[in-house]
Amino acid sequence: MKDWRYWLAEQRGTLLAFGIFIVMFVIYTSNHPAGFTANVVQTAANKGVLLAFVAMAQTLVVITAGIDLSVGMIFLLTNCLASWLVVGTPMQTTLGVIAVLAVGLLCGAINGAIVIYGRLQPIVATIATGAVYYGIGLLLRPFPGGSVNEDLADAMTGRVFDVVPASLVVLLAIVLVIWVPFSRSVLGRAAYAAGSSETAAYMSGVPIRRGKFAAYTLAGLLAAIGGLFLTFFTYTGDAAYASGNAYTLFSIAAVVLGGVSLFGGKGSAIGAIFGALAFRTIGDLLFVFDFDPLWQPLFQGVILLVAVSLGAFALFRVRNRLEWFL
């Protein structure tokens, strides 16, 4: 096979997610009363990047054949923390941003340590740590409130050169700074290898533990960046249990739409970003078609069910009857 055909086979999921997103976005903007304007794109981008960051976080963990049910709660916790710390002079704001990111990193590292070195099941361990993170968030913000450095917030949610949404530029920068180096490093390879076949990776001397630990830790960092952006958009911190759960759930849907295999070892964060943008656009289609907003949770739930069912159909991979029974 030629090189480009390998590349195509490898990127099939990402390209599919990109295609779905483009089709959905064209339907969305062509039916939007304001049409395809910089304003509509900016609003859509601002909503989309929140989920995109959380979905990137989920991707890193899913690639190792794990799952992180606490991403939504890290997202909430860092939102609450940012509403306290990211204020004041430019110096204080910078320190605040660094502190928020460090807390996200720490949350991810705790998850990683419990799952990898404590040898617990990722599902139960991250539900439990998620409860802890939510509790801390609630301690910080028992009631919605707080504030944020509005100059920074407006810069992050505004437009660059009056055309390109700044949030998309930041998203691109994060991909270039975090995802690309990680996926090309030894640790990134180890994370993929651990998800693909842990035993084989172990036998070949791949540093699977360090690779998985790096994946969980970076997931915490990415969720924290998402939490920071939530603060920039809303100017407040709010520990809303339902919203944290929804982000965890949607991140899984976005990951699946983005062609990342829930069985590990396959997919990329770039696919998950397009999955997240597509999922958000599909959810917003209801508004441009003037449906009752009451239907939105059901509509999103059904998309989620269909997406995960198709994406997770291990049935398609069954080659003989015994494989059906794990």
Tell me, residue by residue from 233 to 262, as one string, x for binding to other proteins by CB under 8 A and - for no binding: --------xx------x--x---------x
196 binds other proteins (CB under 8 A): no
Contact 275, 257 (CB under 8 A): yes
Distance of CA 208 to the CA centre of its chain: 22
The pairing of strands 164-165 and 159-160 is antiparallel
Q: Of 63 and 152, which has the nearer Cβ to other proteins?
A: 63
What are the distances in angstroms from CA 201 to CA 68, 92, 198, 206? 22, 45, 5, 5
Estimate to the nearest angstrom the gap between the alpha carbon of 301 and the chain centroid: 18
- Give the start-end residues of each E strand in 120-232: 159-160, 164-165
Distance CA 278, CA 280 (A): 5
Among 19, 35, 90, 142, binds other proteins (CB under 8 A): 142
Burial of 176 (0-12, 13-18, 19+ CB in 10 A): exposed
> Which of 211, 148, 183 is CA-nearest to residue 269?
183
Given 127, 169, 240, 285, the residue binding other proteins (CB under 8 A): 127
Q: Which is nearer to other proteins, 102 or 131 (CB)?
A: 131
Options 38-46, 90-98, 275-283, 304-312: segment touching other proteins (CB under 8 A):
304-312
Judged by CB under 8 A, does residue 320 bind other proteins?
no
Binding mask 45-64 for other proteins (x = CB under 8 A): --------------------
For other proteins, the closer of residues 185 and 309 by Cβ is 309
Contact call for residue 200 and other proteins (CB under 8 A): no
Residues found near other proteins in the complex (CB under 8 A): 67, 114, 118-121, 123-125, 127-132, 134-139, 142, 199, 202, 241-242, 249, 252, 262, 292, 294-302, 304-305, 308-309, 312-315, 318, 322, 324-326
